[in-house]
Amino acid sequence: MGAISVTVWNEFLHEKEDPGIAAVYPDGIHGCIAKFLSEAGFDARTATLREPQHGLTDEVLAKTDVLTWWGHMAHGEVADETVEKVYRRVQDGMGLVALHSGHDSKIFKKLMGTDTGRLKWREIGEKEIVWVIDRAHPIAEGIDEKIVIPHEEMYGEPFGIPAPDELVFASWFEGGEIFRSGCCFKRGKGRIFYFRPGHESFPIYYMPEIQTVVKNAVRWAKAPYIPSFVDGHTPETTVEIKR
């Protein structure tokens, strides 16, 4: 079996507009994520918002097993045509890993069918503890009972997602809020994972445990081969019906 093909998508605006964030991610958030995925043996490439077709051409999408998505300040700039293409690919089996503020992206909202942009937030660099809820889940493999992030942006419940099919992680924040921070969903043949940590001004994606979760999530989100089936009016029976 060949390496899992991952396209790491990033809006790539904060890093260009804010020197403080550029200092954290000199190669962009996408550069950081693609690097640790490549080093782990994934076939990783990057795509960003301001490239033609946002870097998500038909050719790129066709060869992508799993797409990771980081966006924040320019969700509205993503063309509806691209969103529709990504949506169709997920229905057909491409995995999607939505990261941090990707909760408010057009594609995540369309796949969830709810106003996933709804949550509380606060940016004072407080502590977050990401607790493992589902100890047997493959996305939690290699993680002890929790991941401690010294400084993060807070996201708090209520979060406008539908009830996840599987809840892998839940976060506690120093200021008292809680959040469903690792959520699995299935849509059509596709698998979707939402993972909360990853605010742009903190070096979250350099943390080994966070990298472990992203790598596990990509492996999980690559769906097994699922054959197509015929739907619609079915006049022929598959067994003889005695009347």
Q: Is 219 in the site for Zn ion (CB under 5 A)?
A: no
User: Which residue's entry shows tokens 């607790």?
Assistant: 131
- Give yes or no for a contact between 145 and 177, defined as CB atoms under 8 angstroms apart: no
Helix then strand count (H, E) for the chain reads 7, 9
Three-state DSSP class for 138?
Answer: helix
Q: Which of residues 20-39 bind Zn ion (CB under 5 A)?
A: none
In 5-112, DSSP assigns E strands to 5-10, 43-48, 66-70, 95-99
Among 153, 161, 190, 211, binds Zn ion (CB under 5 A): 153
Spatial distance between the Cα atoms of 181 and 42, rounded to a whole number of angstroms: 24
Question: For Zn ion, which is the closer residue by CB, 104 or 153?
Answer: 153
Question: For Zn ion, which is the closer residue by CB, 45 or 106?
Answer: 106
Q: Is 54 in the site for Zn ion (CB under 5 A)?
A: no
Shortest Cβ 201–Zn ion spacing (Å): 8
Instruction: Give the CB-nearest residue to Zn ion.
Output: 199
Q: Smallest Cα–Cα separation from 62: which of 40, 14, 94? A: 94
Spatial distance between the Cα atoms of 204 and 198, rounded to a whole number of angstroms: 5
Q: Which of residues 83-112 bind Zn ion (CB under 5 A)?
A: 101
Shortest Cβ 37–Zn ion spacing (Å): 21
For residue 132, what are the contacts with CB-CB under 8 A and spacing of at least 6?
140, 143, 144, 145, 146, 168, 169
Question: For Zn ion, which is the closer residue by CB, 202 or 220?
Answer: 202
Shortest Cβ 66–Zn ion spacing (Å): 22
Shortest Cβ 198–Zn ion spacing (Å): 7
Q: Which stretch binds Zn ion (CB under 5 A): 73-81, 134-142, 193-201, 226-234?
A: 193-201
Shortest Cβ 98–Zn ion spacing (Å): 13
Shortest Cβ 108–Zn ion spacing (Å): 15
Q: Which stretch binds Zn ion (CB under 5 A): 14-22, 138-146, 170-178, 191-199?
A: 191-199
Three-state DSSP class for 220?
Answer: helix
For residue 7, what are the contacts with CB-CB under 8 A and spacing of at least 6?
44, 45, 46, 47, 55, 56, 60, 61, 64, 66, 67, 68
Spatial distance between the Cα atoms of 114 and 191, rounded to a whole number of angstroms: 17
Q: Is 199 in the site for Zn ion (CB under 5 A)?
A: yes
Judged by CB under 5 A, the number of residues near Zn ion is 3
Question: For Zn ion, which is the closer residue by CB, 65 or 153?
Answer: 153
What residues make contact with Zn ion under the rule CB under 5 A?
Answer: 101, 153, 199
